[in-house]
Chain A
Amino acid sequence: MTQTLGGGETVVFWVLGPIALAGALGMVLSRNAVHSALWLVNTMLAFGVFYVIQEAPFLGAVQIIVYTGAIMILFLFVLMLVGRDTSDSVVETLRGQRVAAIILGIGFAGLVGAGIARATEDLPTDGLGDPGGAGNIPAISELLFTKYLLAFEVTSALLITAAVGAMVLAHIEREPGSRLSQKELSRARFLSERQGTLPGPGVFARANSVAVPAILPDGRVAEESLATGLEPQEPDEMPRPTGRGQLGSPDAALGTLDPAPLEGRDR
């Protein structure tokens, strides 16, 4: 006896099913790990809606709160800590592994999908009745605290073990005294040649890009202000504000790199 599901559920399934599928494919195919995480969030949200329309509203809420809200944010946190630019290498360690994996995947999906489709063709849709709607949480809690009480208690032990394990694994033991204290840092700075702070990028320069080094008041480039990790590049610079009368022609005043006389600056 095959029961067809309601029209609303059919629409939701055929809208969200491709979205979940696209999220899964995007996760596997996107090279950037952050994009992968966001695609997976997409799939998780679709799953949450699936649970709700499958008469499991509590599980749907837990899915959205725990999976998309906590686990995926944890993933993103670790991605940002580990460095999101550690993108995947395209080098195959085992030759032909990728092709073999894809063929295996297509074969597995065909086999399992067709098998499940054939085997569950006339799956009865009894439905849960009241436990699938307003009585979902009472039904779950009743089972959880009677029939599955032992598993529930063991779960608490598992969670505590996981938390302690994560702390032990992520903990760094530092020798006391291996980091400079604030007092020592301050003393070292006053004993150095430059007591003040370093000039920020673009100080006295004619552009405010970080690629522009600071210029000392006498026109030299301050070496300390060179931005690290940036290729030196020619930024769009404003013309140096010199008085036209000092240099003669208006063209000569535009874009000269000579240090202008100090009294010529009107900043």
Chain B
Amino acid sequence: MTLSWYLVLAAILFTIGAVGVLVRRNAIVVFMCVELMLNSVNLTLVTFARANGTVDGQIMAFFVMVVAAAEVVVGLAIIMSIYRTRRSASVDDANLLKY
């Protein structure tokens, strides 16, 4: 087994997350799929850090985690305020921004 298996696994999980973003209609589940994509990128970063023999990749993954946490907090707050006005968490119902 070589390190490229980690990268292949991360690519597959990234794809599953991307397909989930396209397919699912519940805004919270879409957010979870985005989280999965961020995580698989983190796995790639950690794997390359190991291959290169430096810790820089791990620090980049660390920053990705921090940004993901901030993104989740704001995103969930937006979903909640949309749900309050529209009684729905579906991404199809929140289409009034275009008018």
List residues of chain A with CB under 8 Å of any chain B CB: 2-5, 9-10, 13-14, 17, 20-21, 24-25, 27-28, 33, 36-37, 40, 43-44, 47, 50-51, 54-56, 58-59, 62-63, 66-67, 70-71, 74-75, 78-79, 81-83, 86-89, 93, 97-98, 101-102, 104-106, 108-109, 112-113, 116-117, 120-121, 123-129, 131-132, 136, 139-140, 143-144, 147-148, 151, 155, 158-159, 161-163, 165-167, 169-170, 172
Contacts and interface: CB of A to CB of B under 8 A. Distances in A.
Given A54-B50, A126-B51, A128-B50, A13 B6 contact: yes
A222 B35 CA distance: 51
29 contacts: A4-B1, A20-B13, A24-B16, A28-B16, A28-B20, A33-B26, A36-B32, A50-B46, A54-B6, A54-B47, A58-B58, A59-B42, A63-B42, A75-B72, A75-B76, A82-B80, A83-B83, A93-B25, A109-B16, A112-B15, A113-B12, A120-B7, A123-B2, A128-B54, A129-B53, A158-B67, A159-B69, A165-B73, A166-B77
A82 B83 contact: yes
Question: Looking at chain B, what size class is its interface with the partner chain?
Answer: 35 or more
Given A24-B13, A59-B58, 8 more contacts: A5-B1, A13-B1, A17-B9, A21-B13, A75-B32, A105-B15, A166-B73, A170-B81
B55 A143 contact: yes
B94 interface: no
Contact of A140 (B19, B32, B58): B58
* Chain A at the B interface: SS class: helix
A28 B25 CA distance: 11
B60 to A, nearest CB: 9
A156 B25 CA distance: 33
Contacts of A4: 1-2
A20 B70 CA distance: 24
B50 A55 contact: yes
Contacts of B56: 143, 147
Nearest to A168: B77
Interface of B: 1-9, 11-20, 22-26, 28-29, 31-33, 35-36, 39, 42-43, 46-47, 49-56, 58-59, 61-63, 65-74, 76-81, 83-84, 88-90, 92
B74 A162 contact: yes
A82 B53 contact: no
B50 A71 contact: no
B41 to A, nearest CB: 11
Contacts of B1: 4-5, 9-10, 13-14
B9 A128 contact: no
Contacts of B80: 78, 81-82, 169-170
Interface centre among B35, B58, B65, B76 (most CB of A within 10 A): B58
A143 B92 CA distance: 44
Contacts of A10: 1
